[in-house]
Amino acid sequence: MPVTIKDLAKAAGVSHTTVSRALHDHPALSSETIARIKELASSMGYVPSAMARGLKTRRTRALGVIVSNIDDPFWGEVMHGVDDVLHPAGYSLFVSTTHRDKQREKEVVRVMVQRGVDGVILLAPQFSSEQSHLLQTYGLPMAIVNNEGAGEYQYLIYNDDLYGIRLVTRHLIDLGHQRIAFLGNKLGGRTNSDRLKGFREEMKAAGLDVPDEFIYLTTGGVPEGGHAGAQYLLSLPQIPTAIVCYNDYMAVGVYSAVIQAGFRIPQNISVTGFDDITIAAHLTPPLTTLHQFKYDLGAGAARMMLEILEQNRDPADPPPIPKKVCLRGELSVRSSTAPPK
């Protein structure tokens, strides 16, 4: 059983009020008494109850993190930023995944409320507005990363997808490519729509047509989807000289399909990604991609949450000023792109 304040009081031969005061460095107690009781608490393995503390402060020092897929390398790097900011600030994290499933979303919201978290950081781009509204109804502040309903939330940090994909596309055009295909993600929602829109806009600005067959959407931004998409593009009567992938994870599958078809990257076909996850620089050849500041997205959301909680200490205080932060990535040119033959 966990050691309680009453256990400490009995062992120390003092009242539980004295123990409580000692653990909080009350000035009415001598330094010797405080030191003796703290040493006893440490030796007995006493851990303060977050729930009991929360009853007094109305804070549990716990935050919820909702993520679509925890195995996605992109969100893993974002989580790193979240944890690096919140752990030193004394917060524990409850992490739940939705797998883009509506029923799981409801369950996750229920768990967050039951846990009594102080707020929620949302890393689930297609999280439903219904469940988001329910969290807000319970009075839980939310900080959002890359959420599709950007206009619906007050505290948001996101990546400029239109700008990023146009950088990638312009790079290929500058190399001399004209037959460029876009390999997207059916489940990508607004993120996919923005990247496809930016791709079309940059191609149009260069006076280049995009045949319908050069736009292909797979089911999920994963290697399997990239492999299937590349197989389709390589089966066309006139294959593209370059493929713009929705993300790096999908590009991994494109690599395997291109190699299996007897082609070489970039000699026969150039390939680009988006995100710059760790593996991108270690592919053969290293992948040209859009470097997103993933760690900064997570750290920024965590700092935003701390600001919200700080400003919400007194119910009489005015609500925090809405804050939306846009980050722009940088093009990382590597060996997977070259002028077309």
pLDDT of residue 318: 66
Average pLDDT per consecutive 10 residues, the chain (341 residues; last block may be shorter): 83 90 87 92 76 54 88 91 94 88 83 86 79 76 75 81 97 98 91 95 97 94 95 97 97 97 97 96 98 96 92 65 90 98 87
pLDDT at 68: 84
Q: Which CATH architecture has domain 161-292?
A: 3-Layer(aba) Sandwich (3.40)
Return the pLDDT at 111: 83
**What is the distance between the alpha carbons of residues 291 and 257, in angstroms, rounded to a whole number?**
24
**Cα-Cα-Cα-Cα dihedral sign, residues 204, 206, 208, 214:** negative
Q: What predicted TM-score, i.e. pTM, was given to this entire model?
A: 0.80
pLDDT at position 56 is 47
pLDDT of residue 51: 47
Residue-range domain boundaries for the chain: 5-48, 60-159+295-326, 161-292
CATH placement of domain 60-159+295-326 = 3.40.50.2300
Residue 313: per-residue pLDDT: 61
Give CA–CA dist 7/37, Å, rounded.
Answer: 12
Token digits of residue 286: 């290293």
Query: What's the pLDDT score for residue 188?
Result: 81
Matching fold, domains 60-159+295-326 and 161-292: yes
